[in-house]
Amino acid sequence: MKILDSRTEPRAVARLAERRLEPDAAIDARVREIVERVRKEGDEALTTLTRQYDCRFIDSLGLRISRKEVAGAYETVSTGFLRALRAAGKNIARFHRKQLPRSWEIRGGGMRLSQRFSPLSRVGIYIPGGKAAYPSTVLMNALPARIAGVGEIAMASPPGPDGRLPPEVLVAASESGITEIYRIGGAQAVAAFAYGTESIRRVDKITGPGNAYVAAAKRMVFGAVGIDMIAGPTEVVVVADATARTELVAADLMAQAEHDELASPICIVRSRAQAEKISREVEVQLEAAPRKAIARKAFEGQGVIIVAGSEKESADIVNALAPEHLELMVKNPRSYARHVVNAGSIFLGSWSTEALGDYVAGPNHTLPTSGSARFSSPLGVADFMKFSNVIDVSRSALRRLAPHVRELARAEGLFAHEKSVMMREEGL
């Protein structure tokens, strides 16, 4: 892995925090064509594009997954998988129930002011395919929506060449209460959710990660529909001091790198000797990794170990990077964590490996990437709800507040605002 010293190479370290989700003109142009085509041609476009990109047998299979296919998936998965999935679902549901917001009201001065929360009516969940199956992502998106009270949850995921979705994904969808599943991927799935087709009704919001085409499509349809976030490649920052076990640090960097060639495995240490030791261990583990080709490209492209001069400088680098995942393999992780303000999920101590957060701990693994943890939060129940402000004003309150309204309306030159209050005053 590349090694940088923050004391002698501050600019190189700073550049790591300058990564952004810059639009790709060529991808945007292609995605715009796809979105407009689906918007105009509906199911015909979905079928043609799915035949072109994913499965040439889509005409005979149809876009929607049948109940029979879902039932058949249960016969394929192992009992161990089903047990693990249900354990994960239980923990995820328990964590997210704590997030439910409550409506509230304040009274006084002749007014009743309240904020009323309500769930979205219909959401669309996108589950990526291709390099791996992601049943855990189904749980992380569907269960918070269910807990929020969303009435309808539709799911789309790209099929394999045989037109099938991984049985693990279908089982996860069924366990999460999803009954509307489509074998559609890419920008065309996002467009279908955003605008609707003959067979797919439009949704209120789209959640879930995807590749660059999915991200571009979500950015493009935002406004016509809500979105959770624009997700970039996955990333981890592991902060390790002298107490950290080298093989565990390397293992967690490997766990991130195997996701994708564009994943960012980053480590922050306090000495050059420790950095070199971790780098050597990564190389050892790479040679034995089943997904070695993918992981190696991630390490070569984005992998870096930063040598920081002090704990404060280390924490400053973390906050500048604003990582999706932050692992603190240090002597006093809780103390260190008090200095962290920018991170999607924070894992304290050597036992709190990111893999637990990805699957079974309970907190959501759909997290802000590419430095957006500076202003964004993990996916949660609130993403599937909205609230309305309710204003109930008495006559006495109107009389008391009217002079202020008149003054502010005149200052802004909005004379009809002033008149609407004056007419009520005169009628009192």
**Residues forming the active site:** 324-325
SS3 424: helix
Three-state SS across 211-256?
Answer: CHHHHHHHHHHECCEEECCCCCCCEEEEEECCCCCHHHHHHHHHHH
| Cβ proximity of 424 and 399 under 8 Å | no
SS3 268: strand
206: CB partners within 8 A, 6+ apart = 123, 124, 125, 126, 190, 193, 194, 218, 221, 225, 226, 227, 228
Q: Sort residue 110 into left (φ over 0), alpha (ψ -120 to 50) or beta.
A: left
Reference 181, options 355, 336, 171, 103; nearest CA is 171
Q: Which two tokens stand for residue 238?
A: 């592991």
Amino acid symbol at 362: G
Contact 220, 34 (CB under 8 A): no
How far is the CA of 155 from the CAs of 190, 250, 389, in angstroms?
Answer: 11, 35, 31
CA 127/CA 141 separation, integer angstroms? 9
Sign of CA dihedral 294, 172, 199, 382: negative
